[in-house]
Structure 1
Amino acid sequence: MDTLVVESMQGVVGLKPYIPALKELHKFTLRWRRKMYIDHPNAEVLELDPYGILAYDAIWALAEAAQKLRSTEISQSGLMLYEEIMKSRFKGLSGYCQLRNGNKLPSRRFEIVNVIGKGLRRVGFWRSETGNITKESNSPSTSHDHEGIRWPGGSATIPKRQLIQMSSKILRIGVPTQCPFKELVNVVHDSQSNATIFSGFCIEVFKAAMATLTYEVPYEFIPIAQSYNELINLVYLKVIDAAVGDIKITANRSLYVNFTLPFSDMGIAMITPTYQNNNIWIFLKPLQADLWLTSAAFFVFTGFVVWIIEHPINDEFQGSLAHQIGMVFWYSFSTLVFAHRERLLSNWSKFVVIIWVFVVLILTSSYTATLTSMLTIQQIQLGSNDYVGFHSFVIATRNINFDNSRLKKFNSPEEYADALSKGSEKGGVSAILDEIPYVKIFLAHYPAHYTMVVPKNPPSTNGFGFAFPKGSPLVADISRAIVSLREEGKLKMLEDYWFSYFSSNQPSAYMNQDSSSIPSSLSVKRFGGLFLITGISSTLVLSIFFLCFVYRKRHALRGFVTEKLEFLKGYIHYYLPTLLRNH
């Protein structure tokens, strides 16, 4: 058939005569192609179809009948020739040939074919004697399993009527040309090729979502140099079939079009200059006063316990009174930086030091983490004289507990940076409040001097979505595709690439902070368990040490006590009566 006719029959399912792939047919096909190539070297070789093969067998039957009539020298009248043809019994290219009532006996099987692309696909057989449809993968005509039916657009599943209609035309996808953030949508006209090039994060997400569909939907991008509301109106009026770009999902727009699930981050973030804390006493703030005092007390207590245990047996803990007092303080506080070098001889003192070093490790780690957070966390306090910038019109319509007269609108990352560098005092702004995708793009341009802070109880947003006319079946499928891309991590990969594309293709390192999570100073309550463990351990060891000391010195102590008791007894016997008489 003509190519245009085949293309108009996409998805059609029909029957064709089944011709077994016999050896005779294979040999004849080779001779046919060779002869066609010799006789018509510059023409396209005509392939044999089932009807041509049946025609060849019919000519063969006529030739055999004529041959028989000629050899018997019988009159070659039409009636005699017809009767001879009816008697024909032979094996032709189409199989066993036998005529009945002027027709070849019907084949037992017909091929069920599916028109797709520029050709046919075999999907099964129909058996004439049973009327059943079967899939016979062991058929001599094929060495592979039969394929399933393909619907218009290449879908393996039965599509809805709207999708069949879509696959027969090219969808017109509107793309806004006025997006100042080129990482999201970039429309460039190439004067040399006279073609319009569409790129950006939103465009690539749409392409990736369309590529995951199980059916083919041809589409083309159309540049729209109008506002976003007018772009939505064109979708509503069905002037275009969809809109793709940094189109925000709003309740008002949803009255006129259907949006897919959002493919961007949802939420509001703030851009501020990098904060530097110049307080010279900030190193004291990680710990509250009660924790400082408790820690110092346990340092001294631990040093005293170690000195008590080591003093009788360790020369390093002996000497003058000043040396021993200094050793108590030195040994305990040297564990703070793990600089203690004195060799311990008693296992009891080693046990006390092990527990204490564990406590010191946790204290120093917590102190370091809190101090680091205090030095790096962005503490934002906007006053009544501060101005806030924004890009998205959504921000201006939300309740952000800020005077609208203090809001300034900007249209590009460069304008953001200029306003922030000036500050509110010089006609700029103190911070930028905008949707997270715009904030990330800005930080990709200026990663060194600014940071992102998530404000407490930020205004909610619905993110970016693709807009389709009401009732479009593509909305659900594209939404599922977006969910799949997000789960597979492809959305994150596209975001990392495009949000850093205009900054030398290097991923930006920004700080995602929550201004409501400014770290507070640590109190003794948070470490009560640690101090309880080390206190009980040291006290228990000290008690055991004294008990052991008393046990070892029990004989000397018994003599000492006996001596004192005898002295007391003599005093009472001789001196106490005299003392009483004198009084």
Structure 2
Amino acid sequence: MAVDDFYAAHPEYSTRLALHIRDSSGDAFGAAAAAIDLLKNVQAKTIVGPQTSLESRFVMNLGDRAHVPIMSFSAISPSLSTKESPYFIHTSLIDSLQAKVITSIIQEFKWNEVVPVFEDSEHGNGIVPYLLDAFQEINVRVPYRSTIPPTATKDEILTELKKLKNMQTRVFVAHLTCNLGLQLLLLAKEEGMLEEGYVWIATYALTDIINLMGSSASAVMQGIVGIKPFVKTTRKLVDFKQGWRKRFHQENPHTHITEPTFFGLWAYDSIWSIALAVERMRRTKLTFQELNTKNSSTDLASIGFFSSGAELLQSILMTTFDGLAGKFNLVNNQLEFPTFEIVNVVGPRQRRVGFWSPLHGISRWRNSSGKLDIIQWPGATKVVPKGWEWPTKGKKLRIGVSVQPRFNKFLHAEWDARFNNLTVEGYSIDIFKAVMRELPYASYEFVLYGDRNGSSNGTYNDLLYQIYLQNFDGVVGDVTILANRSLYADFTLPYTDSGVSMLVPLKNKNKKSSWTFLVLLDTNLWLAIGAFFIFTGFVVWLLEHKINGEFQGSPKDQLATVLFFTLSSLVFAHREKLLSNLSRIVMIAWVFVVFVLQSIYIAKLSSMLTIEQLQPTVRGLDDLIKQGYYVGYMNDSFMPTLLKRWEFNESKLIAFNSPQDYHEALSNGTLAVFLDETPYLKIFLNEHCGKYTMVGPIYKTAGFGFAFSKGSPLVREVSKGILKLQESNEMLKIDEKLYGSKMCHASEEDITSPIPIRLTFHSFWGLFLSTGVASIAALALHLVSFLFKHRQPTLDDQMDTPTVSNTTPAISVPKAPQAQQLFPELSILNLSMKQKTFDIKFRQVVCLSRKMDGEVVRLVWIIIALEAK
């Protein structure tokens, strides 16, 4: 049909294709023999149609040897490398492209586990590596790969299906040929694996089965989601299908096939591409060059090679046109497929539910973004399956519980012989039941890990290992999440506090005595207070004694007045009245200091005498190791391994069997500290409030969690339930049941933290600085005022004053050099000043010299010279 239609559309072309048909009967060696016959006897310039991947692998090597393009429209294995065989051309869908589409569907519905079911052949195995890589990128787990031999019997297929049915995963990707795929789906339907809760995603080879087998296939595939390349419906395609049905049914009157497959469309377009390429080379001589084969006895050696093969190959690769299957465009020897169609088998037909493209991904409409249309899943439900079922129908989850838990309040499991049943209760059980009430599909039963007499079968590590051995589906209890345990079980999010802490006795830090009031302040602060008492009194006396009669008298009386005045300021009872404003400022600053010191002192003294300052006897691990204290821990815990890692002396480690035992040891001083996990210590502290404290955590752990088998989807579901429970009021009620209505202060941070035992000068130096600055400033102002009031009139003052007598003799001002002659002492100062400045200073000296002796004048001159210098 392709040859006839091409030349009917292009009657003017001068070249013609001659078809030479060979039947390989689906055998790879038959395909190789047919290819040798075509190359040697017919000298075929192009070979089209090795239909399976295995046939193509044989024929493509012959094409490389003879330089003849080999074109396959149905070999879909991505292992057929066009890089290794440059003369091989893919004009069909490649499985690696399907892997991307399937991965997008899995991601769209947020399924976490997928089981690929594929044919154990070249056709089936090719897609698996690409699927696994694509699933890994989106963090989807593949717990099992189901392989079906092409020659599998009904019993062999049933055995494999039962294995899949007993698994928790309910999402399957089927990559099978039509006959094998239909047989597997028929048996799966009999086993109830095409009912509600199951998901089947079919690759194109199986999706096209309805077009090949009609209603017999669609009746089995109800609810299956399939993918196939998108082909736009054109007038050319509609006309072709009409002609194809007429011709095909004339040749095959009893067939049920109603539509040409995509492989047929690609075959049609492949022939058109060759016809266009050959027409482009019409002036090229297309001949075979024979080899010298006289000494060869094989047909393979006598094939020769096509001298224009490379040119024909390039001409085919450059050919583009609008074909029946869409745009024919070869990229790297492979046909480009930009868009895929996602269909859902509903009733007798396939219903389109969306598209996939590299640019937009999953979408309902072509060349857009968004969700898929509503899908009818197996069981005629429109509710998206969760993708897993655990346990399977008719079974319950076997949840292991320990017979000897660490604390009965967390877990208490006991066999009731009277009613012949297992009683399980406690904090961990309450949380587990509350979470599982939100998961009604996961029914469960508790199984005791031990005998009915209360004897355990092993430690928690042994119990968790039973999950790996598949004796239990999960473990519930006060199970600590540890790295080594996660090797054979998966844990949920923790439902308790985390970490390892130390339990230590409390002691009263402050010992009261008759001299307690003295130790409140350190020595430096006492000395500073005394020094400022004396200094402040001296400043006040200096400011007041000239004008205030209360600060006058004999030296003895004045000293007594100053001391009494400053000491009485402590109780704000000083009776002396201050007359100077400066002394009042000094006293305001000092009284403020006294007020602050007095208030803090009283508060500190009250707290020391009335409040119990409880402090832990041990502060950290360093104290334990250095002092060689005895350290306790519970039997059957991971503490010994932890303590040995911290290099504790094993002779200092003591194991206990119950909280009462280490309570007695801590009380009588036998034990300095007890190490355990924070949740346990909280319960203990609540029962012995005020006697112990918790220091830490000193080691980080994840807390308590529930354990399930590796890869179990219940881990995620239960973790979400724990988060939801922790945000609800129900969690508060469960906590109250464990700890009671009132919690004791559990940690070291919760203990009343006393203020420092001694107050230091460093804490108050700012106060003393303020009063010191006030006192010094007052003294400075007082001195300036005194000097201003008692200054002597200068010569300039007399000259500027109108009342100065005209009889005052003129003063002869010597030049600066002359001054050095008058006063030799000035020569050592290297006197150099302007004459005007010197004149002023000289007049001042003259005025002073009238009332001072010569030596004083010389000293004044020296000071003047220094000032000028």
Q: Does TM-score exceed 0.5, indicating one fold? A: yes
Q: 1:151 to 1:387 in 2, by over 3 A?
A: farther
Matching residue of 2:652? 406
Structure 2 partner of 1:454: 696
1:349 aligns with 2:584: no
User: Which residue of the other structure, out of 767, 771, 779, is the alignment partner of 1:534?
Assistant: 767
Q: Give the CA deviation at 1:441.
A: 1.9
Structure 1 segment 135-284 matched on structure 2, within 5 A: 158-163=384-389, 169-188=395-414, 196-211=422-437, 216-225=441-450, 226=456, 227=458, 228-277=460-509
Give the superposition deviation at 1:493. 6.5
Cα distance between partner residues in 2 of 1:569 and 1:211: 114
Alignment partner of 1:430 is 2:668? no
Alpha carbons 2:616, 2:748 under 8 Å: kept: no
Q: Distance in 1 between matches of 2:589 and 2:691?
A: 50
Q: Which runs of 5+ in 1 are unaligned?
A: 1-7, 13-125, 134-147, 577-583
Give the aligned residue type for 2:695. Answer: V
Please give the alpha-carbon distance, in whole angstroms, between the structure 2 residues aligned to 1:291 and 1:159.
78
Q: Secondary structure at 2:704's aligned position in 1?
A: coil
Number of the residue aligned with 1:442? 684
In the TM superposition, 1:10-409 aligns within 5 A as: 158-163=384-389, 169-188=395-414, 196-211=422-437, 216-225=441-450, 226=456, 227=458, 228-277=460-509, 289-290=523-524, 293-294=527-528, 297-298=531-532, 301=535, 321-331=559-569, 334=570, 339-340=571-572, 346=584, 349-354=587-592, 357=595, 375-380=613-618, 381-382=623-624, 386-391=629-634, 393-398=637-642, 399-409=645-655
| Equivalent residues of 2:633, 2:654 under 8 A apart | yes
The residue that corresponds to 2:365 in the other structure is none
Query: 1:252 and 1:546, CA in 2 relative to 1: closer, same or farther beyond 3 A?
Result: closer
How far residue 508 of structure 1 moved from its aligned partner, in angstroms, is 2.4
Letter in 2 for 1:572: D
Q: Read off the aligned partner of 2:705 and give its amino acid letter.
A: G
**Per the alignment, in what secondary structure is the counterpart of residue 417 of structure 1?**
helix
> Does 2:721 align with 1:477?
no
How big is each residue's C-alpha offset from its partner over 1:157-214, in whole Å with a ceiling of 9 and x where there is no partner? 845322475687543322222114112112355677665443322222323444566x
Corresponding residue pairs, total = 412
TM-superposed CA distance for 1:473, in Å, is 0.8
Choose between structure 1 and 2 for higher RCO, CA contacts under 8 A separated by at least 6 residues.
1
Q: Contact 1:454 / 1:513 at 8 angstroms: preserved in 2?
A: no
Whether contact under 8 Å (1:306, 1:352) holds in the other structure is no
**Once the 2 structures are TM-superposed, how far is the Cα of residue 470 of structure 1 from its aligned partner?**
0.5
* Residue deviations 1:343-364 (CA, integer Å, cap 9, x gap): 9984563355446645776788
Alpha-carbon displacement from aligned partner over 1:91-140 (angstroms, at most 9, x marks no partner):
xxxxxxxxxxxxxxxxxxxxxxxxxxxxxxxxxxx9xxxx999xxxxxxx
Deviates more, 1:386-395 or 1:289-298: 289-298
Q: Residue 171 of structure 1 aligns to which amino acid in structure 2?
A: L
Identify which of 542, 545, 551 aligns with 2:778.
545
Alignment partner of 1:463 out of 675, 695, 703: 703
Contact 1:167 1:217 in 2 (8 A): no
TM-fit CA distance, 1:370: 11
* Cα distance, 1:446–1:170 mapped onto 2, change above 3 Å: same
280-289 or 458-467, larger mean C-alpha shift: 280-289
Superposition CA RMSD, Å: 5.4
Output the CA distance in 2 between the equivalents of 1:519 and 1:165: 60
The aligned counterpart of 1:99 is none
Could you tell me whether the CA contact under 8 Å between 1:302 and 1:356 is conserved in 2? no
Aligned to 1:33: none
Name the aligned partner's letter for residue 326 of structure 1. Answer: F
Cα deviation code 1:520-541 (max 9, x no counterpart): 88796954xx52x434432442
Contact kept, 8 Å, 2:398 with 2:474, in 1: the verdict is: yes
3-state secondary structure, aligned to 2:401: strand
Structure 2 letter corresponding to 1:406: K
Q: Indicate the SS of the match to 2:638.
A: helix
Contact 1:377 1:513 in 2 (8 A): no
Name whichever of 280-289 and 222-231 sits farther off. Answer: 280-289
Q: How many angstroms apart in 2 are the aligned matches of 1:161 and 1:298?
A: 84
**Deviation at 1:407?**
1.3
Q: Does the 8 Å CA contact 2:464/2:707 hold for their aligned counterparts?
A: yes
Once the two structures are TM-superposed, the CA of residue 397 in structure 1 deviates from its matched residue by 0.6
SS at match of 1:178: coil
Measure the CA separation in 2 of the matches of 1:150 and 1:314. Answer: 109
Q: Aligned partners of 2:427 and 2:540: how far apart in 1?
A: 65
Quick check: 462-471 or 346-355, which moved more? 346-355
The secondary structure found in structure 2 opposite 1:161 is coil
SS at match of 1:408: strand
Residue by residue over 1:234-255, the C-alpha shift from the partner in whole angstroms, topping out at 9 and shown as x without a partner, is 2222332211111122233211
- Any idea what the Cα deviations from partners look like across 1:460-515, whole Å, max 9, x if unmatched? 433222110001112123334434555669767744541x34xxx54223342599
Q: Identity of counterpart residues, as a percentage?
A: 33
Q: Secondary structure at the match of 1:377?
A: strand
Match of 1:140 in 2: none
* Secondary structure class of the residue paired with 2:400: strand
The offset of 1:390, in angstroms, is: 0.3
1:572 pairs with 837, 840, 853, which one? 853
Shift in alpha-carbon separation, 1:474–1:545, aligned structure 2, 3 A: same
Distance 1:320 1:208, change over 3 A: farther
In the alignment, the residues of structure 1 paired with residue 640 and residue 748 of structure 2 have an alpha-carbon distance, to the nearest angstrom, of 23
**8 Å Cα contact 1:172-1:220 kept in structure 2:** yes
Distance (whole Å) between structure 2 residues aligned to residue 452 and residue 268 of structure 1: 10
1:436 counterpart letter in structure 2: T
Take 1:493 and 1:297, find their aligned partners in 2: how far apart are those partners? 63
- The alpha-carbon deviation at position 559 of structure 1 amounts to 8.3
Structure 1 Cα separation of the partners of residues 383 and 529 of structure 2: 71
* Matching residue of 1:512: 748
Q: Is the 8 A contact 1:183 1:201 kept in 2?
A: yes
Gaps of 5+ in 2: 1-193, 199-345, 354-373, 451-455, 579-583, 795-845, 858-869
Higher radius of gyration, 1 or 2: 2
Cα pair 1:316 1:342 within 8 Å, conserved: no
Distance change in 2, residues 1:352/1:207 (3 Å): farther
Query: In 2, Cα distance between the equivalents of 1:450 and 1:465?
Result: 27
**What TM-score, normalized to structure 2?**
0.39
- Between 431-440 and 311-320, the greater mean CA deviation after superposition: 311-320
CA distance in 1, matches of 2:777, 2:384: 84
TM-score by length of 1: 0.55
Aligned residue for 1:396, secondary structure, equals helix
Q: How does 1:485-504 map to 2 (within 5 A)?
A: 485-486=725-726, 494-495=734-735, 497-498=737-738, 500-501=739-740
Choose the corresponding residue for 1:415, options 651, 661, 671.
661
CA positional deviation for 1:391: 0.9
